[in-house]
Structure 1
């Protein structure tokens, strides 16, 4: 895809990693809206899709490019890279190859872009662990259920209190230690609760309470994510987002569209990405 000719707005590249080890949590939808939100604020953005088999985020962006070309629309585009996992050699050989290719690509992108967003596959693979260890902001979307919460911690079946951390939380803890050793950097871990229902329910409150317990214990920031809205899924074939809906030749926005846009704006504010507040003010 054609990269932007805009000058960089930040002196240091900020790496955003969107990941967990479970599919169906809205990672690609979340990542896409973050990418377009940053592009709309004139940041230079690159994307690395580590799931070379499904390529959900890369396909979303490919749909966007094709739709813009077919309808003669001017839609902002990031620079997109798909990084496949190694398939030949011993495990040590493959991991060495993956690390070399990952480090080389990231180093190249750091020279030209304000933000690099890395979309991880929904499984525990070496490339995903490499990405987590270089994150400045780690975003973990989870669905509004104890099935997804189990990704982070196990809870007591009777009182729903957190009993122990799960493997993914331990992996993030190890990534934080690696990051501290590598450059004394810190990972801002943001857990966002996706596909929440507008209806109140005991299960919804219990998931909320468990996440609040974990927030202090594991040191992440717990924020509201994207609601359960059909519009998020409908936009995928066209590669569109709620951020650029008015620029895409679509019909008049409904109240549901407006509410979804508000969710995206709130999410971007909650992420507290560097330069966002200043850029948003300048654009208004």
Structure 2
């Protein structure tokens, strides 16, 4: 695995559907990278919901209140309107950073499209359901075979072509499968088969994501993550399982390696 270059590696979390765990995953990736010694910046493009920004603001408040040293990336939230401000903010956050993590709105957004073209790694979280699969592809209602890529998949395809034309770089598109506990096994298998078919057609990687655990929602008010074990006191089995999921997800992302080991 290569080392992080001078230019930051840009990781964009993008999904035009809400409720997929996008912002929670983005925050955990940013904190995990800081935990292994990288310099990380974060940009929230969703000026309405501002989930990532508020998550990190809560984290900063917890550090000040408790006196604990917590890994906190430099972060900012875009106003959703000004291209000049977007350009200036990206440049400012990128300066001196190893990674820039960008969280986009759960809707079509012009700045999300620009961010997608800038991405080195583009992560699309989705739940194991055909409701979420519909974002990237359509299936036959009887055979569940993929009939065609969706508009969003074509949008990412265009972004990859534009990036290659601009600087010769490639965008590593990763579809991250977050597990939903109430989805029955046969449906999960059908979704998995459809994803495999579509991945071969449009060229994305599929990796395991995070489970649907109440603990993630409980961590938000304090801005904590599954990496902040000492803040939990005694960790239960759910915490241990969630930390293992995070380890597996970070390994599967295959991001450039900073000097320090993960979770040292």
- Structure-1-length-normalised TM-score: 0.88
**Alignment match, 1:104:** 88
Query: 5+ unaligned residues in a row in structure 2: which ranges?
Result: none
User: Given that residues 153 and 165 in structure 1 are in contact (C-alpha distance below 8 angstroms), is that contact kept between their aligned partners in structure 2?
Assistant: yes
CA change 1:105–1:187 in 2 (3 A) is same
Shift of residue 251, structure 1, vs aligned partner: 2.2
Q: Does 1:20 align with 2:4?
A: no
Alignment check: 8 A CA contact 2:29 2:250 kept: yes
Checking the alignment, whether the CA contact within 8 Å between 2:75 and 2:93 is kept in structure 1 is no
Aligned 8 A contact 1:33 1:241 in 2: yes
Work out the CA distance in 2 between the residues paired with 1:66 and 1:107.
Answer: 26
* Aligned equivalents of 1:264, 1:220: Cα separation in 2: 20
1:49 and 2:48 aligned: no
Over 6 Å off, 4+ runs: none
Gaps of 5+ in 1: 1-7, 87-96
Residue of structure 1 aligned with 2:105, choices 121, 143, 147: 121
Question: CA separation of 1:197/1:116 partners in 2, compared to 1, >3 Å: closer, same or farther?
Answer: same
3-state DSSP of counterpart to 2:163: helix
Aligned ranges 1:97-246 → 2 under 5 Å: 97-98=82-83, 100-197=84-181, 201-246=185-230
Report the CA distance shift for 1:217/1:200 in structure 2 as closer, same or farther (over 3 A): same
Please name the residue that 1:58 is paired with: 53
Structure 1 residue 167: deviation in Å? 1.2
Task: Give the deviation of 1:108 after TM superposition.
Answer: 2.8
CA RMSD of aligned residues (A): 1.7
Q: Tell me which residue corresponds to 1:4.
A: none
Q: Secondary structure in 2 aligned to 1:164?
A: strand
Q: Residue 81 in 1 paired to residue 76 in 2?
A: yes
1:228-271: per-residue Cα shift (whole Å, max 9, x none)? 1111111111100001222x2x2201111101000000000000
Contact 1:25 1:194 in 2 (8 A): yes
1:9 offset after TM fit, Å? Answer: 6.3
1:198 is displaced (CA, Å) by 8.2
Cα distance in 1, alignment partners of residues 158 and 181 from structure 2: 33
Question: How far does residue 152 in structure 1 lie from its aligned partner after superposition?
Answer: 0.4
Secondary structure class of the residue paired with 2:12: strand
Q: CA deviation at 1:111?
A: 2.5
- SS of match in other structure, 1:32: helix
Give the TM-score normalised by the residue count of structure 2: 0.94
Q: What is the Cα deviation at residue 207 of structure 1?
A: 0.7
CA distance in 2, matches of 1:59, 1:110: 20
Aligned to 1:271: 253
Match of 1:113, SS state, is: coil
